[in-house]
Amino acid sequence: MERAQRKLDHINIALKTGQQRKSGFEDVSFVHQSLPGISLDNVDITAEIGGLTLSSPIFINAMTGGGGLETEKINRELAIAARETGMAMAVGSQMGAIKDPSQEASYKVVRQENPNGILIGNLGGEATVEQAKRASDMIEADAFQIHINAIQELTMPEGDRDFAGILSRIEEINKNLGVPLIIKEVGFGMSKETVEQLHSVGVSIIDVGGFGGTNFARIENERRSKILGYFNEWGIPTAASIVEAVNVSPALSVVGSGGIQNPLEIAKSLALGASGIGIAGHFLKVHKESGLEQLIREINYIHDDFKIIMTALGAINISELRKAKVVISGDTYHWLTQRGIDCTSYAK
Ligand code: FNR
């Protein structure tokens, strides 16, 4: 019951604490080109993420399940929105259902509502291969996420304190699961060192889960009496984290996520080298405040405006958009320069 209550707390406190808008995208500017040379009607947003072909690079990132009927209803409606807009969708951590099978319905509902959609399962770094297989089978997953979230766990009053062995468990799951594996952060970002470690054990899809949007240190601090305030500002902003990750190896597929809310931030993330985009907190807020129909309208608006931005940039498809020129300035420039990454390659 404690776990199920935590799932409801996360939703309510995430909505209360909101999105920080500190992901660094204001430091990234497109270089305007006056002769785009393409027609909006021909813009194609089909995306490839680590062997998965998606009709949109944008997907609904992991949020919920395991909190009884309330989370079942949210997952049902997110799955309907995904189905109606052709988007992929991840469920929240399925450990709740691994430990308590009565919670399975709150996850299985996504496959019932979206039998032909691309669905992504989710567990934490403590998961075994056997648990990952059960969770993947539970929703007939097309891909699977393992979240790594040390700062959230350390801030969570009842969280894990032992992070030994995660990399070798990830290696085993990656070898044995049978569907593409995505390793994701949850809003603290990933450094190039972390991405190198993951790449060295065979991981090929990274979701940077950058800082600046939903903040799980703030969420967990709301749930504890002695506040660990120093973690509230801890993390690598999303724009910098995408660049850190994509510079590790061209063989990696990088998902940009963490505070992404609008089509311009999506386009900037792809121009920085991401192949896909995960959005969590913004979709949850639209759904909670305005309902399913408005969420579908919001996703359609994002897709329409994203294509308009691609047209302005002369990018007929996602691989052209990933070559669009950007200038990186401000804190993101300073961060990346000190980290030994040459920002000028994005501008030339
Ligand atoms: C999350 N997130 C998350 N991630 C994960 O891998 N497993 C999970 O169970 C959850 N649960 C969860 C609940 C709620 C209410 C929210 C808002 C988010 C994290 C999410 O997938 C994402 O990484 C972060 O929220 C950062 O992205 P946004 O929200 O800034 O777009």
Question: 147: CA distance to ligand 1 center in Å?
Answer: 9
Q: How far is the CA of 64 from the centre of ligand 1 (A)?
A: 8
Verify whether ligand 1 is closer than 6 Å to residue 125 (CB atom): no
66 lines ligand 1 (CB under 6 A): no
Residue nearest to atom 24 of ligand 1 (CA): 186
C-alpha of 284 from chain center:
13
Report pLDDT digits (tens) over 11-44.
999 999 999 889 999 999 999 999 999 999 999 9
Q: Mean pLDDT, the chain, as a whole number?
A: 97
C-alpha to C-alpha distances, 284 to 10, 77, 143, nearest whole angstrom? 11, 10, 22
Ligand 1 in contact with 152 (CB < 6 A)? Answer: no
259 Cβ closer than 6 Å to some ligand 1 atom: yes
Q: Whose CA is nearest to atom 8 of ligand 1?
A: 92
The verdict on the CB of residue 64 being under 6 Å from ligand 1 is: yes
Q: Please report the pLDDT score of residue 1 as a whole number.
A: 55
Residue 20's pLDDT is: 87
Residue 268 CB contacts under 8 Å (≥ 6 apart), including other chains: 25, 28, 30, 239, 326
* Residue pLDDT, tens place only, 194-246: 999 999 999 999 999 999 999 999 999 999 999 999 999 999 999 999 999 99
Query: How remote is the CA of residue 179 from the centroid of ligand 1, in Å?
Result: 21
Over residues 247-260, mean pLDDT: 98
- Most informative mutation of 7, 186, 265 for ligand 1 (most atoms within 8 A of CB): 186
- For 256, phi then psi, to 5°, come to -90, 130
Buried b / exposed e over 237-260, threshold 16 CB at 10 Å, is bbbbbbbbbbbbeeebbbbbbbbb
Q: Report the nearest-CA residue for atom 17 of ligand 1.
A: 281
11, 14, 17, 22 alpha-carbon torsion, rounded to 10°:
-170
Tens of pLDDT, residues 61-93: 999 999 999 999 999 999 999 999 999 999 999
In this structure, which amino acid lies at residue 307? K
pLDDT band of residue 7 (cuts 50, 70, 90) is: very high
Nearest CA to ligand 1 atom 21: 62
Ligand 1 in reach of 280 Cβ (< 6 A): yes
- Residues 201 and 225 sit within 8 Å (Cβ to Cβ): no
Q: Does residue 270 surpass a pLDDT of 90?
A: yes
Whether the pLDDT of residue 131 is over 90: the answer is: yes
How much of the chain exceeds pLDDT 70, in percent? 100
Q: How far is the CA of 322 from the centre of ligand 1 (A)?
A: 25
Angle CA 192–203–237, to nearest 5: 35
Contact between residue 46 and residue 76 where contact means Cβ atoms under 8 Å apart: no
Say if ligand 1 is within 6 A of residue 186 CB: yes
Q: Which atom of ligand 1 is nearest to the CA of 10?
A: 15
